[in-house]
Structure 1
Amino acid sequence: MTQQTWDELGTPLPGPEFRAASDAIVANIEQVIEGKTATVRLALAVLLAEGHLLIEDVPGVGKTKLAKALARSIDCSVRRIQFTPDLLPSDVTGVSVYNQENHDFEFKPGAVFANLVVGDEINRASPKTQSALLECMEERQVTVDGTTYELQTPFMVIATQNPIEMEGTYPLPEAQRDRFTARIAMGYPDGAAELAMLDAHGAHDPLQGLRPVSDAATVRRLIATVRDVHAAEAVKQYAVDLVTATREAPDLRLGASPRAALQLLRTARAVAALESRDYVLPDDLQALAVPVLAHRIIPTADAQLARRTTDAIVADIVHRLPLPHDRGRNPYDTRPQSSDGRGDYRRM
């Protein structure tokens, strides 16, 4: 992944300004998505962690609505791709076209040349077309006919998909799934939220009246703030322990990659910032383990026969993985132990 300098990202925002900007984005999205505050905040955390989001669930629960609401809440370039079986890789990345006037080829950018790319029903396109996103999602660049084109910052792919058991879909390749920072499921709303949805969406679509409450420059400063969130060495070690445990789990034939550990920590930094903290807690890693790790791992045949889901396997790993203790002291405490026994994870 190309690394932007601080000048390109902008200066970090002070705490109150960060909270005001992030809360405004969440509140704006919740005008469209009722009763899903945790899901909305996780989607924003993935954006601020410079990652990509996969929204997977059955039809009709608001996957595309969430993706569009997040995109419209930020005043930046947005492109939407409707993935279909006849979609070509060049439709995604772009193509060189011969210009008869100049007697030369000129590049016509594809849909990925935007700050936010909404890929609707990504698993309805062929694996060849899905793979067109591999380079841009990881390296923030596109290579066409031997020429590399950089993508602007921020850059985020928000993809939706129906479960692979649905007809007319293709399962995402492992390399593609590993490039998504987190996978979330919308789930059905509770009764009160569904009733509020009938009132809000019955006469008109609130998405049509949604106005931006932030812009690309502000998002870049939010990202710079998240990068500055402190993670103690012991917290980093715990992230590595979680990922290593997936590689050793008897129910898995493929564990999480090193990229998973990196994105787990980045997303934990974003979550900590959204909770007005400038340091990461082990609780942040535990809460994010399922959405960040579960879609990257592959269960064994026996686990599949036992109908064990990857979500359940990761949750079990989090539950069983002990936090090591040394002489009764919390190893995640980076400062002298407080009188109440709680660890302190802030900068020393």
Structure 2
Amino acid sequence: MNPTLARLQRLLVMVPWLLDHPGVHVEEVAERFDVAPGDVLDDLDVLGYCGLPGYGGGDLIEVSISGDRVAVRMAEFFARPLALSVREGLALLMAARATRDSGILAEGHGPLESAIDKLTDHLGGPAGLPVVLDIDAGGSDLLRRLMPAVADQRVVRITYRSASKEETTVREVEPWALRSTGGAWYLQGYCRMAEDARAFRLDRIRDLVVSDERAPDPPDEPPRPPVYEPTDADPVVVIDVGPESAWITDHVVLSDREQLADGRLRLTFRAATLEWAASLLVRLGANATVVTPDALRDVVRARVEDVLVNYGQG
């Protein structure tokens, strides 16, 4: 893990603990957080520069070291109960219930049940407050199977359907992490076929086999979120869309947006492949017009013809 991130995570836990244990020995702090005493002193040195905005004498956290004993003051804001808004509380409740119902936790998760009951009561709802979540939509069965594979660093073989290339491939992956973003779960790791890091959406994995082969250790730096990042090698796409199709701007990385005289939008963006761009344009239907490249028109036309044939209209 990145050393700076590790220190931040440690300090967020260490400060409330130090507030509850004034005058604790440095050695005890080091043992409690499984770090060297020198690292504790370095953490405390950084802590002295932290506090509330204003950063004056009464705003910074005060750290006192006398001999080998440590005391922390002026950090009471860490100890105050977290005040959640109704929106935040409901989001937390839904996430907790989804985690409980997904089956990915070990048996006997009493503390989670207790937290759910307390949160429900705090929100003013009955104990049976209905929260309906389609947890299978994100590949929860695969998630349950992949979690131990990632933890044990077992190479997995997946049959994967690529949405951008419209092809199905079988790949061996050295798993690094599982990440949820944008409402979908991803497996991140080293793909032996691509010979590079890749992210695979769980709901596009058609088959999974967990092998007995142990994968190499993952990189120290955590993998980046599995989102598309345009490169200079990706094709540039320019399209015109009507106001009713402005939602597309949330699904592409725009490099230019122009309001046309007739009320339509001219959007410029890069796409991983023309096939992916064509899939998006088929969804837009008559509300979109391809300006450039010409090759995209051919791909869209072929995609529409395939759809018509499948529906017996070709």
TM-score by length of 1: 0.22
RCO higher in 1 or 2 (8 Å CA, sep ≥ 6)? 1
Larger CA Rg, structure 1 vs 2: 2
Higher strand share: 2
TM-score normalised per structure 2? 0.24
